[in-house]
Structure formats: C-alpha cells, structure tokens
Amino acid sequence: MSKKIPTIYFNRCFSSTPQIIKQLLNNHDFRRFKIFISHVCPNNYLQEVADYFEVEPELTGTDYVNYCLDFCLKHKIDLFVPRYNVTTLIDYKEDFERLGVKVMFIGNSETYQVLEDKLKTYETLKETDVVAIPKAFRIEGFADFQNAYQQISNKGGRACLKPISGIGGNGFKEILEDTTEVNELYKTTGSTIAKDRIIRILQNSEKVEPFMVMEYLEGDEYSIDCLGNNGKLVVAVPRRKLDLYRQNIEYHEDLLDLAQKLTKEFSLSYLYNIQVKYHHGQAHLIEINTRMSAGIHKSCFTGVNFLYLAIKQLMGEKVTAPKDVHWDFQIRTTENYDLVAI
C-alpha cells in the first residue's frame, strides 16, 4: 500500500508564495506534498504550483473560519499554513485538530493579540532589555497628534505615521513639515505626507481610526526570517534592505542574538519575521510579523529551506539548522514579463 502524500493548504497567499512553495517541493529529501491554495481572485502563478486552486467567496470573521474548516474537511487537508484572518482562526485551533488538521500557528491567541498590535508589542517590551523601542504614540485626534509630534521634534527627531496593525510597509508615511498640500499636487507622495494635511484631516474629522506616530528611524533596515520551536530559535537569516531591487544577506551576530531573545520572550514557533531598523547605532524593533515574510524565499538562497523545515516540524519531526549556511552575498531582483495572446 502506497503512503499517503501529505496535503498542505495555503490561504490568501502573497504573490511571492509560489517561489517559496517551489523551494518546499524541491527539498533535499525528495519528499512529495500536495498543494491546495485558495485566493481572492484567479492567479496564474499560484495556480501553477497548486494541485488544487479555488477562488474564495467574500467572507470575514467566523464565516471565513467556517469556509476554511469546510475546505480542510472536503479536501482531506493534513497541514494548514494560514496567512489571512489568523487572529480569528487561532480561536478555532481545536476545531481544526478535531478534523486531523495541524495548523501552523506561531503562538497562542494572546501572542497574536499582542504582536498584531505594534503599540502592545512595544508596551510589552518597554520594561525589558531585549531590544530598543522607538518612541511611539497612539493617535485618536488632533490633540494626540500635536503632543506626539512635539515630543519627537523637541528632541530633534523626525516623525512618521503608520497603522497600529498592518502588513509590511502599508500605510507608512514620513511626515514632512516643510511641504504643503499645494506642493503635494506636483510630486509623488507615496511614502510621505505633509504635516499640514494631517492637521487639516484631524481638525475636520469627528472620529478617525486610531493610528500611530513614531520617531523616524534613519539607519539600515533588516528583515530577519526566523524558524522557532516553542521559544527556541532554530535558525534565522537577516536581510539588509538596500532599495526596492537589492538586499544583502549578512551574518550579523547581534541580530541573531536579538532574534533568539524575542523568540524566547514570546515563546514563538514555526515561521515569523522580525523587522528592525538602526537608529543612532542601535537596533530598534519595528515589528514582529506573525507569519512568514513575503521575501522569505530570498533567505532560502542561504541553503535554509525555511518552509520545508517548518512543515517537518509541524508534522512532529525534529529539525535543526543546516550545517552549511551561506552568508554575505547580494540578491538583485529583476523583472520578468509573460506575454499572452488575448
């Protein structure tokens, strides 16, 4: 009798997910997996690596949880690597287990509640010596903004704003004091915003969704891809972001030590990502992402097959860091285009 090939379900993947799945399937043990993917819309690249692909209905909250449970039951899923709606899915861990599905959660519900909120993360770490925390303030109105901006600028710092919860750099804007809304008519303002505009919006809005204002960190930025096991760091790879097209893979002992401390502090498991940025020579925490990063496939060029190791761990197997990890090289991104007849 042939052995059942493990089935793995990915929901709402990043556009880069096909690359990490290809690395998983190209593992050195020649192990086979069946890949199941659901997404918000058709996607050629996801469909290319999937044994089964479907477009999700428009659902949120518990309705979406029920969709995932039904998907796992229908397709006899063994392993689930969630990306979307994870803070709700974690509350139904036992429901998945009753179906025989092992879900790649990095921690418990409380862990997600803390790490999905940057201000809660900072508050948790503020009284520890684990990592430096940037000055950050919760903004709910004009008075909050005025106070936060003044405290940062009085010490000679620049300020930026970003969502309290979010993915990647979504919503990040550096606040410019010497730019007016009129000036913004004539230039690209994707990652900047005039201070005057923020003031006008806050003064003319009865209520805004809370956001955060924090000091702008001016040094090098690192993205640290991590694999943990119940608070112990198995392996980590720091990537230094140079620009949109270049990243350096660097052996950085201080950052590896920091990753170990944060893994222990929050008792993290499986795949997660730590974002730090240097400021006045010291690494400051930006955030801990509760999922594998969109760029984790780049870290795999070191010889660490992150997703494969995490899948083995989820299956109950013992995993260790590879003996030979390749360091100190640059990754350059080039654009490719597919031309398709219409």
> pLDDT per residue over 187-213, tens digit each?
776 789 999 999 999 999 988 999 999
User: Are residues 24 and 76 located together in one domain of the fold?
Assistant: yes
Predicted pLDDT of residue 2: 61
Q: Residue for token digits 């285009």?
A: 337
Least confident interval from 1-5, 111-115, 128-132, 273-277: 1-5
What 8-state DSSP symbol labels residue 185?
T
Q: Mean pLDDT across the stretch 106-132?
A: 96
User: Are residues 145 and 78 located together in one domain of the fold?
Assistant: no
Query: CA 267, 97, 319 angle in degrees (round to 5)?
Result: 45
Split at pLDDT 50, 70, 90, the class of 181 is confident
Average pLDDT, the chain: 94
**pLDDT tens digits for 66-98?**
999 999 999 999 999 999 999 999 999 999 999
User: Are residues 162 and 203 located together in one domain of the fold?
Assistant: yes
Instruction: Say whether pLDDT at 1 is over 70.
Output: no
Predicted pLDDT of residue 45: 92
Structure tokens at 292: 């594998």
Gyration radius from the chain CA atoms? 21
> Residue 43: is it exposed, middle or buried by C-beta count within 10 angstroms (0-12/13-18/19+)?
middle
- Report how many domains make up the chain: 3
Asked if residue 129 belongs to a domain, the reply is no
Instruction: Say whether pLDDT at 271 is over 80.
Output: yes
With beta carbons less than 8 A apart as the criterion, state whether 296 and 225 touch: yes
Asked if residue 127 belongs to a domain, the reply is no
Three-state SS for 129? coil
CA atoms of 147 and 144, how far apart (whole Å) = 5
Distance of CA 233 to the CA centre of its chain: 17
Asked if residue 124 belongs to a domain, the reply is no
Asked if residue 188 belongs to a domain, the reply is yes
Where is pLDDT greater, at 286 or 207?
286
Instruction: Say whether pLDDT at 168 is over 70.
Output: no
With beta carbons less than 8 A apart as the criterion, state whether 40 and 13 touch: no
Domain assignment of residue 243, given as a range: 111-119+218-341
What 8-state DSSP symbol labels residue 204?
T
Q: In CATH, what number is assigned to the domain containing residue 60?
A: 3.40.50.20
Predicted pLDDT of residue 122: 98
Three-state SS for 85? coil
User: Are residues 184 and 256 located together in one domain of the fold?
Assistant: no
User: Are residues 200 and 233 located together in one domain of the fold?
Assistant: no
Predicted pLDDT of residue 127: 87
Asked if residue 17 belongs to a domain, the reply is yes
Asked if residue 84 belongs to a domain, the reply is yes
Predicted pLDDT of residue 189: 67
User: Are residues 314 and 337 located together in one domain of the fold?
Assistant: yes
Asked if residue 2 belongs to a domain, the reply is no
Give the Cβ contact number of residue 303 at 10 Å.
15
User: Are residues 47 and 36 located together in one domain of the fold?
Assistant: yes
Q: How far, CA to CA in Å, does 335 sit from each of 18, 49, 100, 170, 332?
A: 16, 20, 41, 22, 10
Predicted pLDDT of residue 289: 96
Buried b / exposed e over 72-87, threshold 16 CB at 10 Å, is beebebbbbbbbbbbe
Q: Mean pLDDT across the stretch 301-313?
A: 98
Least confident interval from 73-77, 103-107, 182-186, 209-213: 182-186
User: Are residues 115 and 236 located together in one domain of the fold?
Assistant: yes
User: Are residues 235 and 205 located together in one domain of the fold?
Assistant: no
User: Are residues 336 and 229 located together in one domain of the fold?
Assistant: yes
Q: Mean pLDDT across the stretch 157-174?
A: 88
Asked if residue 325 belongs to a domain, the reply is yes
User: Are residues 244 and 288 located together in one domain of the fold?
Assistant: yes
Q: Mean pLDDT across the stretch 303-319?
A: 98
Which of 171, 188, 215 is a domain's end point? 215
Q: Residue for token digits 């003031």?
A: 199
User: Are residues 257 and 313 located together in one domain of the fold?
Assistant: yes
